[in-house]
Structure 1
Amino acid sequence: MMVYCGKPSRGCQMCRTRRIKCDETKPTCKQCAKSNRQCPGYKDEFDIIFRNETKATERRAKKAEKKRGAFEPSLPSTAVQREGSAGQEPISPVTSEDTLLSPFAKEVVKSPLELAIIPAIEIPMDTKASCHFVSNFILIPQQGSTRGFLDYLVPLLKREPNESHLQHAFNACSLASLGNRVGPAQTVDFREKATYEYTLALRRVSLALQHPEESKSDGLLAAVLMLGMFENITAQKMGDFAWGSHIEGAIQIVKARGRKQLRTKTGLGLFIGVRTQLIIHSLTSGTAPMMGADWWLHDAIKDETSAACQRINLHTAELRAELTQVMTTISRKPENVAFILSLLRRAQALDAECLAWMKSIPEQWQYKTLCWEDNVPRGDYANAEVFPGRVDVYNDFWIASVWNMMRTARLILHSLAVRCAAWVCSPVDFRTTPEYATAARVCEEMITDIIASVPYHLGWHAKRRHLFANKDLSGFACGEDDCMKGLAGYFLTWPLACVNGQDYVTDRQRAWVVGRLRYIGDELGIKYAHILSQLHIRIPSMMIVRDSLVAQPSANYPMAHNFVKMISTSARDMTPPRGYTMNAMQHRQTLQKEAQEAGKAELVAKASGAGGAEDAEDVHKVAKNWLKV
C-alpha cells in the first residue's frame, strides 16, 4: 500500500545517517566532500514522499517507536539539541524503502549503503541450482506461440509439495547441471547433493507407482522424464541404459493414462515430451515405437509443423526396426528381393515427405544465413568455434531443433536405402549403386546444414546480436536470453552424434563435430556428449557389415538351399576328432558361430574407438546398442 509519510528530509543518505544538515548540493553535497566521504546521492522525490508500507513493516515501525520512546528521557542533552535543531529530524525506523527482497531467496537484503560495509548474503546452493536450471532449460512460449520446452514444469512445481518425487527429480537435475558448470572445487559438493536428490526421487517414484491413481498423475510422469534428463546431464556408468529404462517407464505411464491426458494443456505437453524421447530411443536402439506410430499421433498435435516432423520420424523408426529384423531372417529368394525393394521404396517415399516439409515450412520457421566463415585459426578444427562455410540463424532454439530432427531423419532414411540396395546387389559393391550416389549427395547437404546451425546454438545469438535482423528470441522462464544456454547443447547432442557417425563426413568435419561434442560436455554440462564423441560408428557401411554378420548363411548365397544340403551330406561322412563329443556338423556350426561372434566383437571394437579407461565401458555398450550386435 502506498502511503504519504509527511515531509521528510531531502538530504543525501550519508548526511541522514550521520544526522547532520545536508546542503543538498548536487551531484555531491559539500558536507561529504569536506569529510572526504563518498556521497551516495539522493533518493527520488516520489520515493521520499510515498513509501510502500506492508503490515509487517508497520508492525516493525511501531515496535521501534515504542523502544525509542522508552529511552528518550535518558538521552544526553547533546542528542536532544541535535534532534531539535533546525532542518534536522530523528533517525527514522527501518522501513520497506530501506530493504530489498532477494529474487532468489526469502531473505531481507540490506540497503546499498549497508551492503558496502557488510558481507553479501550467501545464496543457498539449492536456490542457485534451481534458478540456473530454469534459466537454461525451461523455454516459455511467446504470446500466440506453442513453442516451448519443459514449460509444463512451471505449473506442476507450484502444485507439488516440497518433498514430492517431481521436486526431488527437479533438484537432482538442477544441482547436476550447475555442478557441471562451476569450478572443480565445488563440483564434488554439487555431485553428491544431486545424487542424493536423485536417489530420493527414485524411491518416491517407486512408491508412487504402487498407487493406482498417483501412478497416472502429471507429476509422476514429469518426474520420470526428469530422471531421464538427469542421466544425460551426468552420464554416469550405464547412463545410456538408465536413460532408456526411464523413457520406457514414461511410455508405460503414458499408455496407462489413456487419451484423456490430451484434454489438458499440461497433459498434452507431457505426452509430446515423451513422444520426442521415444523417437530418439527408437532410432538409437533400432526398435519400433511402442504402440505404433499412429497411436502417438492421433489427437496429439500442439503445433502442425513440428507434429509433421515427428510423424515422419516415427515412421522412420518403424521402417528401421522392420528392416533390421528382416535382414536377420529372410533368405535370398525372388519374392524376398521384391520385399526388400519395397522397403527401399518406402524409405525413398519418406525422404520425399521430408523434402516436401522443408519446402512448405512457414515463413517464421525459415532460417537465414548470417555470414560465411572462411578459415580456422592454425587449422585447429577440434577447438574452432565455426567450421568454414555458412553460419545460419533461427528464430529460436526450438525451431532449430525441429529442423535438425528432420535432417537426421533424412540421414537415417538414406542409410536404410543403401542397406537395401547392398542386400539386393550383393556381392557387387554397394557403392556402385544409384542409391549410394543419391545418399552421398543428400547426406552431404544435410551434414552441411546441421554444421551451419551449431554456431547459433553455441553462442552466436549472444556474442553477435547486432548481426541479427530478428532479435525476438523465445523466452526462458527467468534470466537473460542472450547468453550460453544448456538447452542448446542438449538439443545438439543427438544430431551431432548422427553426423559424427556418417560415412559421408570429411575428416575435418568429423574433427570439428567431435570438438563441439566435447565442448557441450565441458562447457554446457551435458556429459553424455563426452561418450558420444568417442564413438567411431560409420553408417551405413558398418550396418551393412553387421547385416552380413548376423544373417543366416541362406541370406548370403544365391543357391543357399543347395549349399546347406551339400554341407549336410558331406558332414555325415566326416570323422569327428579324437575325444570330441560333437558330430562333424555340430563342430562346423560351432566354428561358424565363433567366427560370427568374433566378427561382431571386432565391429563393436572399431565403433567404440580408443576412449579413456574411465568411459571405455560406457562407450562400448553404447556402440553395441547402436549396432545391435
Structure 2
Amino acid sequence: MPNTGRPSRDCHLCRQRRVKCDLARPACQRCIKYGAQCPGYRDQQELVFRNADPTVVKKRKKRAPLPQSPSSQSSSSSSSSSSSDGGVLSAPSLSPNGDFVFTSSTDLVLVNGANYNALPPLTWPVYEHWTSHSIPIILDVYSNLDFIKDMYRDYTDDGPLIWAAHLFSRTYVTNMQYSTALSRSSDSETQRELGGYLGKTLNLVSEALKTPEGAQRDDILATVWILTNYELLIGSLSRTEVLSPWHLHARGLYSILKARGCAPLLKPDGRKSFWPAYSMVQIQALITNTECPPESKEWLETIERLLPLHPGEGLGLAISYFIIKICSVQARIFNLLRRRDFPGASRDYPDLFAQMKAAEQEFEDWIEKNYVGTHILEIYAMSLYHSAIVKGYHVMRLLINFLTHYPPCPIPLEQLNEDREYSVKTAQNAAQGILESVPRVLGPLSSSKDKSPKTVFDALRVIWPLISVYVMDICRSEQRLAAEGLLFYIGRELGVRQALNKYPDTLTLPAEAKEPLGV
C-alpha cells in the first residue's frame, strides 16, 4: 500500500528501534543515551507517494494556480522584489515537539523567473528542527559583535560553543512565545532538554579548564560570556546569593581573564574578546558593592600603551578607569555601614567624597578633549558610565545620611546637607541620561515592530543601566516609573525575563543610612 503521509523525520536508528526521536542535531539524545553513534537523518526531500486515482488528479489540476498575464506580472514586479528578499516564509515559531514552524507571509512567489499571483497562504507547516537554526539565531543576536562572529567561524566542531548556541537560541525562541509571563511553568520535556544542553555546555567548559591551555582558548571565554547573557534571558541577575548562576559565570569570566594575563591584549583579537568579558566583570562589581579585580589597572594600562587604539577603545578605557574608582569608593562605604562604624565613617568621609568628585571631573575632562559619537556601542558605553554615577552617588547619600545621626562628626551638618543635595542632583541627571539614550537603542524596535534576534543584544546591554534607575530611590519617582515601563517593554516584546523582575531590596543596612536626621 502506498504511503499517503509524511515520511518520519526520526533518525535512522530511532526508526529502526521504533522509539520516538528528539530530532536533535547533530546527534539525537536517544542515540547518545543508548550508547550508539547517531547515524543521522533521512533526506527531507524524499518523495511522499500519494493516491494516483484519476479523480484525485483531476481535482488537483482544477486547484492549480493560473499564470499571470504580462501586464499583471509587470505591475507586481516591485512587490515581488521587496518580498523576495525575505522569502515567502515568516519568522519561525516553536512547536510543542521542538520544531521550528514556518508559515506563509506573502501572496507572491517566484517560480522559474515568473511571478504567480493569488497563491493562498501555506495551510500546512514546514517543519525543521530548531537546532539547525541555533547558530544563525545567535549570530543574528550578536551581529554587531565581531568577537562572537569570529568564534563561530573559527570553532565549528561539536564543542561548548555549539551547545551554548543551542541553549541560548532555544531559550530565546521559548521566551518570545511566552514573554509576558513573569514566571511560566514550561512542559517537562522543554525543561529536560534545556537542562541537558546547559549540563553539556558546563561539562565541556569544566573539562577544558582542567587542561593547561583551557583558559587561553577564546571559545571557552566566549562560551562563559554567552552563559552570562543566557542567565539574563531567564532572569537570574536579581538573585545575589553566593551560588546565583549569573554571578558564578561573571566570576568565571574574571578567573579566565586572570589566567590569560596581559599577553592576549597585545593582539587585536585578544582585545575584542577582552572588552565584553571585562564589562560584565565590572557590572558585577557595581551590583555586589565590591572592588574591581586588582589586575584591572594592569590590563587597562597594557591596552593604553598600544597606540593607536581601536575605535571606541579610548572611551572604553576612560569609563573602565572611572568604574574602578567608583567601585573602590562604594566598597569602602559599605564596609563602614555594615560595621556601623560611626568614627571610621566620620574620619574617611572627606576623602571618599573627594574621590567621587575627582573621578567624575576626570572623566568630564576626558569627554571635553575627545569626540564621542552616536554609534550604538558608544551610547551603551555612556549608559554604563551614567549607571555607575547613579550607583556611586546613591551609596554616597547613604553614608551622608548615616553621618547626620552622629553628633561628634566634625563635618558641619550644613556641609553634609549640601553634599547630599549635590549627590541627588548628579545621580538624577545621570538617570535622565540613561532614560534618554534607551529610545535611541530600542528605536528600531518600537518604530518598525522588528522583533528579529539582533534587537535582543541591544536590549541586553541596557538592562543594567535601567535597573540602576529603577531600584535606586535616589532617582525621582517619575524616572523610576519610566525605567520600570522600559524594562517591562523589553521583557514583553523581546522575551528578556530579567526585565520582568521586581528586584526586592535585600541589603542589610543600619537604619541611620536610610534617612537623614530630621526626616
TM-score class, shorter: 0.5 to 0.7
In the alignment, does 2:406 pair up with 1:415?
no
Q: TM-score, normalised by structure 2?
A: 0.66
Task: Report the CA distance shift for 1:129/1:196 in structure 2 as closer, same or farther (over 3 A).
Answer: same
Identify the residue that residue 322 of structure 1 maps to in structure 2. Answer: 332
Distance 2:192 2:254 in 1: 29
CA–CA separation in structure 2 for the residues paired with 1:430 and 1:196 = 60
Match of 1:406 in 2: 385
1:339, distance to aligned residue in structure 2 (A): 2.6
- Structure 2 counterpart of 1:348, from 351, 357, 377: 357
Q: 1:431 to 1:448 in 2, by over 3 A?
A: farther
Q: Contact 1:232–1:528 at 8 Å: present in 2 too?
A: yes
* SS of match in other structure, 1:300: helix
Q: 3-state DSSP class of the match of 2:200?
A: helix
**1:459 paired residue number:** 443
> Could you say if the C-alpha distance between residues 432 and 340 of structure 1 is closer, same or farther in structure 2, counting changes exceeding 3 Å?
closer
- Local SS of the residue matching 1:287: coil
Q: Which residue of 2 aligns with 1:276?
A: 279
Q: Distance in 1 between matches of 2:127 and 2:69?
A: 24
Distance in 2 between residues matched to 1:404 and 1:430, nearest whole Å: 32
Structure 1 residues 408 and 431, CA gap change in structure 2 (3 angstroms): farther
* Greater Cα offset, 112-121 or 270-279: 112-121
Amino acid aligned to 1:173: F
Taking a change above 3 Å as real, the CA distance of residues 203 and 349 of structure 1, as seen in their structure-2 partners, is same
Within-5 A mapping of 1:89-128: 112-113=110-111, 121-128=126-133
The amino acid that maps onto 1:509 is Q
The one-letter amino acid paired with 2:273 is L
Task: Tell me if structure 2 keeps the 8 A contact 1:232–1:526.
Answer: yes
Rounded to whole Å, the distance in 2 between the matches of 1:195 and 1:162 is 21
Q: CA RMSD in A?
A: 4.0
* Alignment partner of 1:133 is 2:142: no
Task: From 342, 346, 352, give the equivalent of 1:337.
Answer: 346
Contact 2:466–2:487 under 8 Å retained in 1? yes
1:450 is the counterpart of 2:434: yes
Rate the CA distance shift 1:40–1:121 in 2: closer, same or farther, 3 A: farther
2:504 is the alignment partner of 1:535? yes
- Given that 2:337 and 2:509 are in contact with CA atoms closer than 8 Å, whether structure 1 keeps it comes out as no
1:521 matched residue in structure 2: 491
Question: 1:287 & 1:462 partners in 2: Cα distance?
Answer: 36
In the TM superposition, residue 436 of structure 1 has moved relative to its aligned partner by: 1.0
Per-residue deviation, 1:462: 6.1
Letter of the aligned partner of 2:494 in structure 1? L
Deviations 1:342-401 (A, max 9, x none): 1121112112224334444415x2xxxxxxxxxxxxxxxxxxxxxxxxxxxxx3331211
8 Å contact kept, 1:309–1:406: yes
Q: Does residue 397 of the first structure (1) align with residue 381 of the second (2)?
A: no
What is the CA–CA distance in structure 2 between the aligned matches of 1:39 and 1:498, rounded to whole Å?
59
The Cα of 1:182 is off from its aligned counterpart by 2.8
Q: In the aligned structure 1, how far is the partner of 2:239 from the partner of 2:156?
A: 28
Distance in 2 (CA, whole Å) between partners of 1:504 and 1:547 is: 13
Instruction: State whether residues 236 and 245 of structure 2, in contact with CA within 8 Å, keep that contact through their aligned partners in structure 1.
Output: no
Q: Distance in 1 between matches of 2:166 and 2:353?
A: 46
> Which one of 158, 167, 191 corresponds to residue 172 of structure 1?
167
Consecutive unaligned residues in structure 1, runs of 5 or more: 1-34, 45-99, 106-110, 140-148, 366-394, 466-479, 550-629
Give the corresponding residue for 2:511: 545
For 2:514 and 2:428, locate their aligned partners in 1 and report how far apart those are by CA, in whole Å: 26
How many angstroms apart in 1 are the aligned matches of 2:509 and 2:357? 18
Query: Does structure 1 retain, via aligned residues, the 8 Å contact 2:318–2:363?
Result: no
Distance 2:126 2:397 in 1: 62
Residues 37, 304 of structure 1: alpha-carbon distance in 2 compared, 3 angstrom cutoff: same
* Aligned-residue offset at 1:196: 2.5
Q: Which amino acid aligns with 1:403?
A: M
Render the CA deviation track for 1:102-149: whole Å, top value 9, x for unaligned: x999xxxxx94389699785443123443333223331xxxxxxxxx3
Is contact 2:233-2:498 (8 Å) kept?
yes
Contact 2:389 2:427 (8 Å CA) reproduced: yes
Q: Separation in 2 of the partners of 1:261 and 1:182?
A: 40
Structure 1 residue 437 corresponds to structure 2 residue 421: yes
Give distance in 2, aligned partners of 1:170 and 1:546. 48
**Distance in 1 between the 2:226 and 2:204 partners?**
13
Question: Which amino acid counterpart does residue 317 of structure 2 have in structure 1?
Answer: A
Task: Please say if 1:503 is aligned against 2:506.
Answer: no
Q: Deviations over 1:197-223 (max 9, x none)?
A: 222101111111221123421111111
CA distance in 1, matches of 2:268, 2:166: 24
- What CA distance in whole angstroms lies between the structure 2 residues aligned with 1:419 and 1:360? 33
In structure 1, the residue matched to 2:148 is 153
The answer to whether the Cα contact below 8 Å between 1:344 and 1:421 also exists between their aligned partners in 2 is no
1:362 corresponds to: 371
The 5 Å alignment of 1:7-406 reads 37-39=66-68, 112-113=110-111, 121-139=126-144, 149=145, 151-182=146-177, 193-235=193-235, 241-300=244-303, 302=310, 303-329=313-339, 331-333=341-343, 337-362=346-371, 365=373, 395-406=374-385
What's the CA shift string for 1:277-332, capped at 9, x where partnerless?
11110111111122243133121355111211111012211221122223445854
Distance 1:178 1:546 in 2: 47
Equivalent residues of 2:142, 2:454 under 8 A apart: no
Secondary structure, aligned partner of 1:252: helix
For residues 202 and 238 of structure 1, what CA distance do their matches in structure 2 show? 22
Structure 1 pair 129–325 and aligned structure 2 pair: CA distance change class (3 A): same
Count of aligned residue pairs for this structure pair = 395
User: What secondary structure does 1:498 align onto?
Assistant: helix
SS at match of 1:211: coil
Structure 2 partner of 1:378:
none
The 2-side partners of 1:506 and 1:327 are apart by 24
User: What secondary structure, in the 3-state scheme, does the structure 1 residue paired with 2:177 have?
Assistant: coil
- Secondary structure of 1:299's match? helix
Aligned CA distance change for structure 1 residues 444 and 431 (closer, same or farther; 3 Å)? farther
Q: What is the one-letter code of the residue matched to 1:508?
A: E
Shift of 1:405: 1.0
Counterpart residue type for residue 535 of structure 1: P
Give the superposition deviation at 1:430.
9.1
CA separation of 1:113 and 1:317: change in aligned 2, threshold 3 A: same
1:493 matched residue in structure 2:
463
Give the secondary structure class of the aligned counterpart of 2:111: helix
User: Does structure 2 conserve the Cα–Cα contact (< 8 Å) formed by 1:282 and 1:288?
Assistant: yes
Kept after mapping to 2: 8 A contact 1:208/1:214? yes
Using the alignment, how far apart are the partners of 1:353 and 1:243 within structure 2? Answer: 32
Q: Do the aligned partners of residues 233 and 268 (structure 1) sit closer, same or farther apart at CA in structure 2, a change above 3 Å counting?
A: same
Gaps of 5+ in 2: 1-63, 74-87, 93-99, 101-108, 305-309, 408-412
Q: Deviations over 1:568-597 (max 9, x none)?
A: xxxxxxxxxxxxxxxxxxxxxxxxxxxxxx
Percent of aligned positions that are identical: 16
